[in-house]
Each structure stands twice: as structure tokens, then as C-alpha cells.
Structure 1
Amino acid sequence: MMLLEPKLTELISGCQSGKRKAQEMLYQLFASKMLGVCMRYATDKMEAEDMLQNGFIKVFSKIKDYRGEGAFEGWVRRIMVHAAIEYYRKNHKMMQLVEMSLAGTEQSVLAVATHSLEAKDLLAMIQTLPPGYRLVFNLYAIEGYAHKEIAEMLGISEGASKSQLSRARTILKETVVKAERVRYENFG
């Protein structure tokens, strides 16, 4: 369901006034797309749904701060990402960190033509990453944050962020190579 801008403005205004019906409609409008954002950070759908609920609680509690600058969907998305990070911090004991000295010794993986993989396949591969790697990979590669910003958000060093990303990329490349090899063997 696509809303015209004036209708979205009405919904935002209604939410800022605390109207439950407006909140419900805004939730219906953005929930499925934001669940997709949360799924990238979660280990399963139930965890993503928890992140989504926490995110919308924050959206509704902070909506009075929204000034109409930039896209509203982008504003909601940032809140969801931060809710996912907060959930991760509370519910996952410790990120798996790779020592910087080990990051440089990773084996090089041959470049693979990923054009044959669909987006859903790549997202599924990202989901298999260990939680710490997946978190940094999503923040850097998908959300576009810099290592300095990621380090600040997660309370880690920039070096740790870089090594997490490096290891995530290596694991993903290896996963893609294996998938392509299986595909070639089955259809080659």
C-alpha cells in the first residue's frame, strides 16, 4: 500500500499527537520493510520480530523529534538499525573478534561471479555469518556506516570493526565459491 506524501504527513502528525489509530496505520505501512532490515541483524525471525517491536516503540517515543528533514522512511530505518544493535548488545554475550595480526593472514579467495546468485541467496548467506561478523558487515556494506561510526556504536575499536568486516567477507566469499561449485557440479 503506497501512501501519498500528504497522507504520510497526516499519519506522522497523528502519531506525534499520540493517536493510536495513526500509530497502527504507520506500523502497517512500514512493518514488513523494517522487518527485512531487522532480519539482516537477527539470528532468526523471532529475534527480528523482537527487534522490530523495540524499534517501533522507539519510533513512537521519538516521533515528536522528527522535523521532516530527509525521508521519513530513512529516519525509521536508522531507528531500526539502532534498535537491532541495542538488542544485539543485550542478548549476545560477546562478539567474535579476529586479531588484526590474523586478519592479514587470511587466505585469498578467487573472485567469483555472483551475478548468478539471487539477492535472496546472498541475504541467506549473510544470515549464516556469526552474529558479530554479520552485525559489522550489515552496518558497513549495507547501511553504509564508516568503521569509526561502527566502532562508536558497538563500543569496539576501528581495528576490530575492520577485522570483523574482513573475516565476514572471507567467509562470504568461501560460501559463494562453495555454492557456485555445487551449482556447477549439479548443472555443469
Structure 2
Amino acid sequence: MQTHLPSENLERSLVQACKKQDRKGQHATFNRYSGKMMAVCRRYLGNGPDAEDALMEGFMKVFSKVETFNEAGSFEGWIRRIVVNECLMKIRKQGDVFTKNIEEAWDVGEPADALMHLRTAEIEAIIAELPPGYRMIFNLYAIEGYSHEEIATLVGISSGTSKSQLSRARTMIQQKIKVIES
């Protein structure tokens, strides 16, 4: 599999190879996208074996369902959706991940300026410390770009619950930033 092709041509070549069930093409696809997709899995599931399982199950689904990829959008984006769905399925199997009782009246400052001073690793660590339900909704909304209605459908909650979980996640992030800055 040639890897010096321009990105768009390489992606098209990988898709075609995967559709032909070419093992070298599948291997090249995994090598190209697995690092980014593992980062997605870790954002949802942490650094443990669940993240690794979701990654592998996601790629198995990518290779078995590649015929359904219509090539209208990005192959990477299509893979990301599959991997996110695998993560969500693992989270659902863990039971109710939504924290119901949490103190809501926290005094929060201006997080925008604070975020400018944090490194990516610090931000990722803060997000990783969120309760699972908050982390899932924050990732889906703020990082993956899903709307609250889409999140509600994906996760099986109301859009109001999604909004509430996002608000609480943001509040917790702001509190953690304040601690880091003090």
C-alpha cells in the first residue's frame, strides 16, 4: 500500500482496499487511524482495557461494514462515528452513568482565560476525572460536535438531561481549573 499519496488519494485507496478485504489495506488503515481513534476511546473510557476493546471492536466493525461507506464524507469521520458508538455501547453496559445528586450552586469564574494557560495534557486529565456520564456528554457535545438532540438519541436520554449533564461537566471543569491556577 503506497503511503506517499496525497491524503485524499490515500484515503480513497484505503477505502477501496478495505472494500476488497485486502489485508495489507486493512493493516494500513489501522496504522493510519488507530492512534487518533485510541485517543477517542480513552476520552470516553479511560486508559484501561475497555478503551483497547472498543478500539478493536470498532475496527472490526469498520472492516466488516466498509461496504456501507458511501465515500460522500471523510473516511476518518466515518471511522470515528463507529468508534464513538462502540465506546457508548461499552458505557451503556456499565449501567447508569449519570450522576443524579450533585451540588449545583458552585461559584465559577471565567474559564476561557484559564484554559489558555493549560497544556493539552492538563485539559485531557481534567476531562478524564469527570464522572463517566458527564465525561461522555462533554465529549459528545464539545469535542465530537453532536447536538443535544443527537446525544439524546445516541445515549437514550432526553435532550434536557444532555444539557444538564453538559452544564454540570463544565462547572466541574471550571472548578478544577481554579484549583490548578491557585
User: TM-score over 0.5 for the alignment?
Assistant: yes
Residue 2 of structure 1: how far off its partner (Å)? 6.5
2:67 pairs with 1:64: yes
Return the offset for 1:38.
Answer: 1.1
Deviations 1:7-51 (A, max 9, x none): 332221111111222111110111111111111101324221111
Matches of 2:81 and 2:4 in 1, distance apart? 21
Q: Deviations over 1:81-105 (max 9, x none)?
A: 1111112112x12122437xx78x4
2: CA distance between counterparts of 1:137 and 1:169? 8
Local SS of the residue matching 2:45? coil
What TM-score does the superposition give when structure 1 sets the normalisation length? 0.87
Identity %: 42
Question: Who is 1:111 aligned against?
Answer: 110
Aligned twin of 2:100: 98
CA distance in 2, matches of 1:147, 1:98: 18
Instruction: Report SS of the residue matched to 2:107.
Output: coil
2:139 corresponds in structure 1 to 138
Residue type of the alignment partner of 1:37: V
The one-letter code sitting in structure 2 at the alignment partner of 1:6 is N
Can you give the 5+ residue segments of structure 2 that lack an aligned partner in the other structure?
none
For residues 95-144 of structure 1, give each alpha carbon's deviation from its aligned partner in whole angstroms, at most 9, with x where no partner exists. 22437xx78x4223111422110111101100000111100010011111
How far, CA to CA, are the matches of 1:157 and 1:97 in structure 2? 15
Amino acid paired to 1:11: L
Residue in 2 that maps onto 1:46? 49
What is the distance in 1 between the residues matched to 2:78 and 2:87?
14
| Superposed structure 1 runs of 4+ greater than 6 Å apart | none
In structure 2, what residue type is equivalent to 1:108? D
Any unmatched runs of 5+ in structure 1? Answer: 182-188
Q: CA RMSD in A?
A: 1.8
Partner of residue 155, structure 1: 156
Distance 1:25 1:2, change over 3 A: same
Q: Does 1:27 align with 2:30?
A: yes
Residue 141 of structure 2 aligns with an amino acid whose one-letter code is Y
Task: Please tell me the residue identity of whatever aligns with 1:74.
Answer: G
